[in-house]
A and B are shown apart, each in its own frame.
Chain A
Amino acid sequence: MNHKPDQPTLMAYLFQELEEEKVRWVEAYLQEHPEVKAELEALSEIHHLMKKGAEEEVPPLLLPEVYPPQPTPHRNLWLRLGSIAACLTLLVLLISWVGLQVQYRNQTLTIQLGKSTEDAIPRNEQAPPVEHTPLIRQVVQQEIEALQDSLSGTLHQLQQLQTALQAQIQQDSLRQKELTRLARDYQKETSRLVSEIISQASRQQQQYTDELLEAFSQHTARQRVRDLQLIEETLLNIQQNTQEKQQQTEFIVTQLYTQFKQKNDEK
């Protein structure tokens, strides 16, 4: 159990992706080698530290939101008009299908369903004309008046609808103009903000560059001062050393001269 687990094994152990048998082996090794255990704990701390900075706000998707279409007043109006038209068409079709005929000939009112009486009954077998009665005349007159009233009512309603439609169109047009104006204003405001942001960013960048340059120049100046001090110290050392050497040399030369003189004197 003496050989050290390699880096992949340690990482697999740290992130709990190591097989059970190897886990026991690594744990035993770590107990015997506290320095490796400390290293692994330090890496685990870095892991937790980095994890601490993980929460981050995610911006929303840049996709337009989809709203269900809303019914508009236009649509309701057209729906009502369409319904009225459909009812009238249905009525006409019904009348033509049942073959309703209303005739007033020779002071005789004839109302019948189905084929014409002239086609259905031979001319010689034609029934005697229904005698005119004031009651029938009155009823028919009332019916005609009622129909006229109904028609004029429908016409009036149609006119009202037309007016409402025109007002709605006019209102929509105004709203459209207002929206266009708002969009134009918004566009202008956006352009202004963008240019402001760009100029601000440019200013900040310039300021940052200036700061960098200033920091760099200060650093260079400090470095230069340090270098000069170092050179001065070195020169001073050299000078001192030279003087010391000179003194030593003079001393040695003097000693040599003295010794030489003594020997000559002895001779």
Chain B
Amino acid sequence: MWYRRIYLFAYKYIADRDTALEITQKVFIAAFEKLKHLQSPDKFKAWLYRIAVNYCHEEGRKKKRNRWDDLDKLIQQEPPLPKGENPEQKLMQQELKDQLLKALSMIPGEQREVVIMKIYEELKFKEIAGILAISENTAKSRLYYGLHALKKILDQWNITVKTIFYES
């Protein structure tokens, strides 16, 4: 259960399967080593996510150093999803997933982590605030701006709920 959740969190944050797997393993090794320092079992969830967030930030920094800055601009120029009927529905679904993941990776990291925790992990704002050591209002504001940023990107690519449901 925790393995799956941490892997998915890392994958959504980093957008790379191998790195996400590596992060997941690091998280569990670190958790195993530091488990004796955990004061209360009730805080296990927040504590584990905190470790995952730290490793994701670390990987994010590494990735940023190696990133070719112009690549983001080129990504923005990429064509939107193909419209109309397509017999390969599965392929389209995968393409949609890739596009959504790409959009997610394009918003700032601090907004991205809140979006992932809220939308995919379905954590309460209180839990998110605890994990990230921020106030609840800050978490809510980051989500607000994150959703707006995603909307802007997806509008550029002409990806909306209507087009997706129409195509599928």
**Which residues of A does B touch, CB under 8 Å?**
7-12, 15, 17, 42-43, 45-56, 58-59, 61-62, 212, 215-216
Contacts and interface: CB of A to CB of B under 8 A. Distances in A.
Interface stretch (B37-45, B46-54, B134-142): B134-142
B11 A46 contact: no
A50 B17 contact: no
A100 B53 CA distance: 82
A131 B14 CA distance: 104
Contacts of B91: none
Interface residues of B, number: 38
B119 A50 contact: yes
B100 interface: yes
Contact of B164 (A9, A11, A49, A58): A49
Nearest to B136: A8
Interface in B75-134: 96-97, 100-101, 104, 115, 118-120, 124-125
Contacts of A46: 147, 150-151, 154
B31 interface: no
Nearest to A12: B140
A46 B161 CA distance: 8
Given A15-B118, A17-B125, A43-B148, A49 B141 contact: no
A50 B97 CA distance: 9
Nearest to A47: B119
Given A8-B136, A8-B137, A58-B4, A51 B119 contact: yes
Given A11-B143, A11-B144, A58-B4, A42 B151 contact: yes
Per CB-CB distance, the 10 closest pairs between chain A and chain B, nearest first, are A8-B140, A53-B100, A11-B140, A7-B144, A8-B137, A53-B97, A43-B147, A45-B161, A46-B151, A58-B4
A56 B151 contact: no
A50 B143 CA distance: 13
A7 B140 contact: yes
A129 B154 CA distance: 118
A52 B96 contact: yes
Nearest to B70: A216
Interface of B: 3-4, 7-8, 11, 17, 21, 25, 70-71, 74, 96-97, 100-101, 104, 115, 118-120, 124-125, 136-137, 140-141, 143-145, 147-148, 150-151, 154, 159-161, 164
Contacts of A55: 97
Contacts of A50: 100, 104, 115, 119-120, 150
Contact of B17 (A9, A52, A59): A59
A78 to B, nearest CB: 39
B11 A49 contact: no
B104 to A, nearest CB: 7
B136 A56 contact: no
Contacts of A45: 160-161
14 contacts: A7-B141, A8-B136, A10-B144, A17-B124, A17-B125, A43-B144, A46-B150, A49-B164, A53-B101, A56-B11, A58-B8, A62-B25, A212-B74, A216-B70
Scoring B8, B74, B115, B143 by chain A CB atoms within 10 A of each residue's CB, the highest score goes to: B143
A56 B9 CA distance: 11
Contacts of A49: 100, 154, 159-161, 164
B121 to A, nearest CB: 10
Nearest to A45: B161
Given A43-B151, A50-B104, A58-B7, A8 B141 contact: yes
A215 B97 CA distance: 25
Contacts of A53: 96-97, 100-101
Nearest to A39: B148
B141 A59 contact: no
A206 to B, nearest CB: 14
Contacts of A59: 7, 17, 21
A54 B150 contact: no
Contacts of B11: 56
